[in-house]
Amino acid sequence: MGLNLNDKKVVVEEVSAKVATAQTIVVAEYRGIQVSHLTKLRATARAQGVYLRVLKNTLARRSVEGTQFAPLADAMTGPLIYSISDDAVAAAKVLADFAKTNDKLVLKAGNYAGKQLDVAGVTALASIPSREVLISQLLGVMLAPVSGFARGLAALAAKKGEGSSEAAPAAEETAAA
């Protein structure tokens, strides 16, 4: 059953609101995928904070019209699933990870911050670690000099502690004589 005009307007408004705050949109062809697999994909997307939706391409084109994602309209042909996220990497990562395990999901194109991405660009974007991983790596790099200095001080203290424990019995023997 098709959507009436009011339903289409609601869908366009909803998707336009998501697109307005998005950094990345990735589209993939989903022809032949079982419903149970799509359900798992949607659950994964929800957990990652990604807006995932199957849309009519005309409604999707209207939603991106006049935005930084407008060039993506050329790739909007065929049965597509749209992945939209505020996180720069999440939309690409969700679809690319799913495409690794399900060969029927075919990545078509993407757009990151107004830059059109081909399939290779989408997979490269998906290979970037998540924000949390990057923050923890940065924190590890920042703490490495401090922790190295602390380990050096601890080793020095342990070495002096061993030297003073050997020197203490000799001092006691000299004092007793």
CA dist 67 and 60 (Å) reads 12
Q: Return the CATH number at 25.
A: 3.30.70.1730
Q: What local confidence, expressed as pLDDT, does residue 176 receive?
A: 53
**Judgement on whether residues 123 and 135 belong to the same structural domain of the protein:** no
pTM tops 0.75:
no
Q: Do 151 and 110 belong together in one domain?
A: no
Query: Are residues 78 and 10 part of one domain?
Result: yes
122 closest CA partner among 112, 131, 132, 130: 112
Q: Which of residues 127, 145, 167 is at a domain's end?
A: 127
Beta carbons within 10 angstroms of residue 93's beta carbon: 27
Amino acid 82: pLDDT? 92
Question: Which of 124, 118, 121, 126 lies closest to 87, judged by CA?
Answer: 126
Decide if 50 contacts 90 (C-beta within 8 A).
Answer: yes
Which contiguous run of DSSP H or E holds residue 16? Answer: helix 5-21
Claim to verify: residue 94 and residue 21 sit in the same structural domain: yes
The pLDDT assigned to 89 comes to 87
pLDDT at res. 129: 81
Tell me how many domains the chain contains: 2
Could you list the mean pLDDT of each consecutive 10-residue stretch along the chain, which spans 177 residues?
Answer: 80 88 90 90 90 89 88 88 88 90 88 86 84 85 87 89 58 50
Residue 154 lies in a domain: yes
One domain for residues 141 and 68 = no
Q: Which domain holds residue 145?
A: 129-158
Residue 43 has what pLDDT?
93
Residue 174 lies inside a defined structural domain of this protein: no
- Same domain? For 99 and 151 the reply is no
| Cβ–Cβ < 8 Å for 110, 121 | yes
